[in-house]
């Protein structure tokens, strides 16, 4: 619902600022405009650009996962769908909410016929890397350097989820995939 946009934006900004504090330049990690981020989520939800599912605790948005479609990843053939982002308010980190959101997203995407999930994560984001590795992902050896106000290395992860041969799922943090600020 578009009415959830302010709460989703609040979680996104708090998570971004905390998770990337020591990875991105301060201007980039603190430069998110709440009004702009809220409006971006409101438009995305309204236009169906991404399906956003929220995790709540006592009626408050604790985190969210956004699912998108239409990405093609490194020559994989077939249906390509994706998880754009998973963000949790920092006070919900390591409490199981991220695992629940991710598993629901993977189940949905696998039921759509996809066989693999791939995504990029900042190499220095140790917390996220541990999370994805606990979910069964492995680094496939690819890496890129992104301009995020400074050069930041991202590494590529993959997990086979088993469905129709040749289909894949692609995860790309929306912050640099779609230019969301």
- Cβ atoms of 168 and 115 within 8 Å: the answer is yes
45's tokens: 């939800």
Whole-angstrom distance, CA of residue 103 vs CA of residue 123: 23
* 63 vs 27, higher pLDDT: 63
Whole-angstrom distance, CA of residue 72 vs CA of residue 138: 19
Does the pLDDT at position 181 exceed 80? no
* 48 vs 65, higher pLDDT: 65
The domain of 28 spans: 2-177
Does the pLDDT at position 56 exceed 60? yes
Does the pLDDT at position 176 exceed 80? no
| pTM listed for this prediction | 0.77
142's tokens: 């690819």
- Cβ atoms of 136 and 118 within 8 Å: the answer is no
Distance of CA 150 to the CA centre of its chain: 21
- Number of structural domains, the chain? 1
* 37 vs 73, higher pLDDT: 37
Whole-angstrom distance, CA of residue 32 vs CA of residue 118: 26
pLDDT interval class at 161 (50, 70, 90): confident
Count of CA atoms in the C-beta half-sphere (13 A) of 102 = 20
Please compute the mean of the pLDDT values over residues 96-117 and round it to a whole number. 82
- Cβ atoms of 23 and 122 within 8 Å: the answer is yes
pLDDT of residue 140: 87
Please compute the mean of the pLDDT values over residues 108-114 and round it to a whole number. 74
Does the pLDDT at position 129 exceed 70? yes
The CATH number covering residue 86 comes to 3.40.630.30
Whole-angstrom distance, CA of residue 2 vs CA of residue 112: 25
Does the pLDDT at position 45 exceed 70? yes
Please compute the mean of the pLDDT values over residues 28-53 and round it to a whole number. 87
pLDDT of residue 1: 78
DSSP string, the chain: -GGGHHHHHHHHHHHHHHHTTTTS-HHHHH---HHHHHHHHHHHHHHTSSEEEEEEETTEEEEEEEEEE----TT--S-EEEEEEEEE-GGGTTTTHHHHHHHHHHHHHHHTT--EEEEEEETT-HHHHHHHHHTT-EEEEEEEEEESSSEEEEEEEEEE--SSTT-EEEE--HHHHT---
């Amino acid at each position: 619902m578009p009415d959830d946009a302010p709460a989703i934006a609040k979680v996104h900004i708090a998570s971004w600022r905390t998770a990337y504090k020591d990875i991105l330049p301060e201007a980039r990690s603190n430069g998110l405009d709440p009004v702009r981020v809220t409006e971006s989520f409101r438009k995305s939800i309204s236009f169906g650009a991404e399906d956003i599912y929220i995790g709540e605790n006592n009626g408050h948005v604790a985190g969210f996962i956004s699912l998108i479609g239409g990405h093609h990843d490194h020559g994989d053939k077939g249906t390509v769908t994706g998880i754009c982002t998973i963000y949790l308010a920092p006070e919900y980190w390591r409490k199981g909410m991220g695992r629940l959101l991710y598993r629901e997203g993977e189940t949905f995407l696998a039921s759509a016929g996809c066989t693999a999930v791939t995504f990029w994560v900042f190499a220095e984001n140790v917390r996220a890397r541990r999370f994805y590795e606990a979910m069964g992902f492995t680094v496939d050896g690819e890496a890129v350097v992104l301009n995020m106000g400074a050069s930041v290395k991202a590494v590529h992860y993959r997990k086979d989820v088993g469905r129709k041969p040749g289909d894949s799922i692609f995860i790309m943090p929306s912050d640099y995939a779609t230019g969301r600020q």
